[in-house]
């Protein structure tokens, strides 16, 4: 049986979100393996919790390679981990990150001719305006 679907205003991809800070909740977390390097990664899924983009899902992949652990450290601090907890070896239970409220800092960039957004940084929930991230910051996601 046919179903009526209104495709008005639909394109081939989601429109990039404007750069800025967005309140969000971690909706999913899993440890995976990067196809390109075989290194372990932490895959995080977020949902924007308020504003005109509420319910929009965003994704972040953080490499667990030694050279990229600074990004994991920065992100775990935003999730409420203390400097003491992050001072040495630890057992990371990624499921403990789920349902935590955070603030996502999004930036825009052009990739293959399209404007895209990416998560530049994760801040503690309720974090106010911050200076724009440096262009030299390593990307948190690869599109």
pLDDT on residue 1: 83
Task: Please give the C-alpha separations between residue 130 and each of 26, 66, 73, 102, 136, in angstroms, as whole numbers.
Answer: 21, 27, 19, 14, 16
Question: Within 10 Å of residue 92's Cβ, how many Cβ atoms?
Answer: 14
Q: What is the pLDDT of residue 15?
A: 82
Average pLDDT of each block of 10 consecutive residues along the chain (143 residues)?
84 80 96 92 96 92 94 95 93 95 92 87 78 43 40
Q: What integer pLDDT is reported at residue 126 of this predicted model?
A: 86
Position 137 scores a pLDDT of: 44
pLDDT (0 to 100) of residue 22: 93
pTM confidence score:
0.79
| CATH fold for the domain made of 20-124 | OB fold (Dihydrolipoamide Acetyltransferase, E2P) (2.40.50)
Task: Give pLDDT, residue 143.
Answer: 35
Q: Which is nearest to 77 in space by CA: 120, 113, 15, 123?
A: 123
Question: Is 29:41 a contact under the CB 8 Å cutoff?
Answer: no
- CA 65, 70, 74, 80 torsion-angle sign: positive
């Amino acid at each position: 049986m046919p179903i009526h679907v209104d495709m008005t205003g639909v394109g081939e991809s989601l429109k990039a979100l404007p750069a800025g800070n967005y309140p969000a909740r971690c909706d999913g977390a899993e440890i995976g393996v990067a196809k390109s390097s075989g290194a372990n990664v932490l895959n995080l899924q977020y949902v924007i919790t308020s504003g005109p983009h509420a319910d929009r899902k965003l994704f972040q992949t953080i490499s667990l390679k030694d050279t990229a652990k600074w990004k994991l450290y920065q992100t775990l601090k935003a999730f409420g981990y203390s400097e003491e907890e992050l001072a040495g070896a630890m057992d990371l239970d990624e499921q403990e990150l789920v349902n935590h409220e955070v603030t996502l800092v999004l930036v825009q960039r052009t990739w293959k001719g399209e404007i895209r957004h990416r998560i530049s940084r994760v801040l503690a929930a309720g974090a106010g305006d911050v200076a724009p991230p440096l262009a030299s910051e390593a990307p948190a996601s690869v599109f």
